[in-house]
Amino acid sequence: MVLKITPPDLAALPAAFAELEAGRSVALLPLRPDGVRWLEPPDAQRAHVGVTSSGSTGQPKLIWRRWAELRDAAHRSQTVRGWVWASPFEPASFAGVQVAIQAWAGGGWVMSLRGEWLDQWQMLAGTLVNAISATPTFMDLLVQNEPAGGLSWHPHQITLGGEPLRPGVGRRLAARFPKTRFSVVYAAAELGVLLKTHRLDGWYERDVLKARWPEWRVRDGTLELWQEGDWRSTGDLVELRDNLIKVVGRADSVANVGGTKVSLAEVAECAEQVPGVLRAVAVAESNAVAGQIVCLKYALSPQENAEVITARLQEHLRQRLRKEAWPRRWVMDDLGPALNAKRMVQ
């Protein structure tokens, strides 16, 4: 029989870990479980933990992982003993479970970040948090909303995951936390951690992937892994350069503009190369003539002149992208963190 738990926050997960240590499988359900597809654990003889997929490419579903595998992968050196961790991740997600296991294995504890930015800064500085695990966008926004004076916080560790890291964000975080150790992780609930690096430019060493998956390939720009006698697509668009690999977005984030495929991730990354543009997101919108058009949503640095930067942004994209990839609609937006299954419900 499977124990079903709906943890209200990350701090509640050690109770579930105790059940798993006792050999009982546990399904961690989100606070809003409607629509989550239930799947039974694959092996009744071993303890499994069920986490919720993000549902970004379909119906959210329960993904089962062996408890021993997740527990034994936690970093256990003396340098992390007793650390306090913080994270905005949903406790029923794979990312949330990972950070909670790390804190638990190191004899520390973890707390969920929620509320306004000032509240979160007060939690981080007031509790003397040693490490944080979050998406690059969350950390970027956290830094931009840092209160003026009085709340100095310099963690030992920042773990970034949940989305591709863009170089501009990496540079801003490195400048704000010059003495902090960074880990950038690419993982999926179904497959576990595939890539990990300390680089902040968006690239990973290929040897890290090969050590985890000796047989892998890139087909039509999409990463595929050899598993159980067949090639399995991860659904991620990647680039290769020398001995490096870079995750640039999801394979389903492609627009069909007049019969031509356009990578929305490429458009957004190109936009973020323009000084003054903090973040950009490209989305496909329906169009009666072209089928779809590209819409660019972008956030600017507060001190920048919006008209000047927008004109510079438009010229930059027209010079570097194919005509089909040119955004036909431009929207200024603060582009806060997406509220999905990985993020705590506020």
pLDDT in tens, 169-197: 999 999 999 999 999 999 888 888 899 99
The whole-chain average pLDDT of the chain stands at: 88
| pLDDT band at 14; cut points 50, 70, 90 | very high
Tokens of 309: 């930067």
Which sequence spans correspond to the domains of the chain?
A: 3-201, 254-331
pLDDT at 64 > cutoff 90: yes
Cα-atom radius of gyration of the chain, to the nearest Å? 21
> Is 254-331 in the same CATH topology as 3-201?
no
Here the contacts of 77-82 (C-beta below 8 Å, separation 24 or greater) are 80/106, 80/108, 80/130, 80/131, 80/157, 81/106, 81/107, 81/108, 82/106, 82/107, 82/108
- Range 50-75 average pLDDT: 81
pLDDT in tens, 107-131: 999 999 988 999 999 999 888 899 9
Query: Taking CA 312 as the corner, what is the angle to CA 306 and CA 315, rounded to the nearest 5 degrees?
Result: 140
Tokens of 116: 């306004």
| pLDDT band at 41; cut points 50, 70, 90 | confident
- Range 318-326 average pLDDT: 91
Residue-level pLDDT at 55? 52
Q: Domain spanning 3-201: which CATH class is it, in words?
A: alpha beta
- Range 148-153 average pLDDT: 77
pLDDT in tens, 184-232: 999 888 888 899 999 999 999 999 999 989 999 999 888 999 988 899 8
39 and 61 Cβ atoms separated by less than 8 Å: yes
- Range 71-91 average pLDDT: 91
In the 8-state DSSP scheme, what is residue 22? Answer: T
Q: What is the largest CA-CA distance in the chain?
A: 63
Which among 49, 13, 55, 16 has a CA at the least distance from the CA of 34? 55
Assigned architecture for domain 254-331: 2-Layer Sandwich (3.30)
Residue-level pLDDT at 344? 47
